[in-house]
Amino acid sequence: TINDISNMKELLIKNFKFPKECIRVLSEQEQNANLIPTKHNKLESLKWLVKDCQPGDSFVFYFSGHGLQQPDFKEDKIDGFDETLCPVDFLGEGMIIDNEINSIIVWPLKEGVTLHAIVDACHSGTILDLLFKHTSGGLAICLSGCEDSQTAADSSVRINLWRNEYGVLTYHFTKTIREYSGITYGGPLEKMHDEIKKINRSRCNNRILQHILILYIYITIFFFHFLKRKIHDPLLSSSEKFDVSTTMFTL
């Protein structure tokens, strides 16, 4: 996820001209204790993001990491589960649920304020609860790595000689934005879907690995399951309806 963070930060600065001083990064590599991605620090940073929002403001919330689900104790979800993000201390402090995220960064959005959330994690389809709750007049758009019921555990790609790993959503989203100027919201989705289909096809057609694995029963069981697992398509959700095929993408 460190590679993902660096990739996204570079995109925001170089392609969308976000000032460096307006970007807050939380990661385990940070020396400042307030920037370690604990539950407390994440919630405080979400509040910082949209604090004193005014018409014309554009916010971006980006997350690359682990996502899970937990029972919906408020019983306001059709599938009976809340979607969650996992801070580094979630085993002791608990996860951050979609209801909290919505109340902190979606509900306060005033008219004329736009929020983009890009969440590269498992079970992230409705992580902002945009299907169930609304803003205070602003616009919230979320690009998720997969549907609520799906996992993205093997959503990584290896590039260049150093074989760095990136989340599939992050890598193909940033790659598409860099390569295609003036693209619509539907453009990155279409490009990402095409690339993910190629990756899934490549995994399913890897006959050499499948033949080698026949020699080892236990390894065969494990890797056959691995080869059959597919990277799931990303999806787009919004607090308002708009035409993704004609609306130009911008942050």
Expressed in percent and rounded to 5, the helix, strand and coil fractions of the chain are 35, 20, 45
Backbone angles phi, psi at 158, to 5 degrees: -115, 130
Q: Which long-range contacts (CB under 8 A, 24 or more apart) does 219-228 make?
A: 226/154, 227/203, 228/204
**Residue 26 to residues 14, 43, 55, Cα–Cα distance (Å):** 20, 11, 26
Residues taking part in catalysis? 66, 122
CB atoms within 10 A of CB 153: 12
Q: How far apart are CA 228 and CA 116, in angstroms?
A: 32
Among 124, 118, 127, 123, residue whose Cα is nearest residue 170: 118
Torsion from C-alpha of 198, 1, 164, 166, nearest 10 degrees: 10
Q: List alpha helices for 34-158, DSSP H.
A: 39-50, 90-93, 98-101
Q: How far apart are CA 166 and CA 187, in angstroms?
A: 20
> If DSSP states are collapsed to H, E and C, what string results for 144-188?
ECCCCCCCCCCCEEEECCCCEEEEHHHHHHHHHHHHCCCCECHHH
Q: How far apart are CA 25 and CA 171, in angstroms?
A: 18
